[in-house]
Structure 1
Amino acid sequence: ERSRLQGRIWALTERLARTSESLARHLAARGELDRTIAESEAAYGKILESSQTLLDVLKGEIGNASKASELQSTSKEKEKQACGQKHS
């Protein structure tokens, strides 16, 4: 009976060691995945911030281009009116 119990203890000890090693590998893999996720989230945040900055710049440029176009159109209209008055 004693030797049977010792054999069982030995088998369970071996099983515990294998399980502990497996757990350690899984924890290391999880740590690596957590780091990768954190890096990806940080990169995503930077991309999002850069995209918003670019969008703001483009909106400003479009606004400036629209104002310049309006000024140019107004200037051309005034020239046409002035030319029309000279020819009358």
Structure 2
Amino acid sequence: MSQQAAALQNYNNELVKCMEDLCSKREELNRQITQEEEEKDRLQHDVRVLTEKLSRVNESLAHRLAARANFDQTIAETQAAYTKILESSHSLLSVLKQETGNLSKATEPRRKDH
């Protein structure tokens, strides 16, 4: 019976050692889980911060794009109006030169033809 008691003691010692190993492995795994959960929380926070920042940048960009479109439209309209002014000025100058020429001819003294 002492042999059975010794075997039982060996089994018990091995069982205790295996349980201690399992507990140790579980504690290590639990430590890793805690680290990864903390990292996950940090990453989720970073994602929230970046998402909010992206939203603000998108809003700002949309306003700036709209403002630029307004500038482009105003510039195009102004350039078109200025071109019309230049064309009108050119036409006015041509008419004025023609009328000046006509008036000059009308005011020249007439020559007497012999």
TM-score range, shorter chain: 0.7 to 0.9
**Aligned mates of 2:96, 2:84 — CA distance in 1:** 18
What secondary structure does 1:25 align onto? helix
Q: TM-score if structure 2 supplies the norm length?
A: 0.63
Whichever of the two has the greater Rg, that structure is 2
Q: TM-score if structure 1 supplies the norm length?
A: 0.81
Code of the residue aligned with 2:92 in structure 1: it is L
Q: Which ranges in structure 1 are unaligned for 5 or more consecutive residues?
A: 79-88
Figure out how many residues of one structure are paired with residues of the other and give that number. Answer: 74
Identity %: 59
- Looking at secondary structure, tell me which structure has more helix per residue: 1
2:100 matched to 1:62?
Answer: yes
Moved over 3 A (4+): none
1:85 equivalent in structure 2 = none
1:33 equivalent in structure 2 = 71
**Aligned mates of 2:91, 2:53 — CA distance in 1:** 57
Cα distance, 1:74 vs. partner?
Answer: 1.9
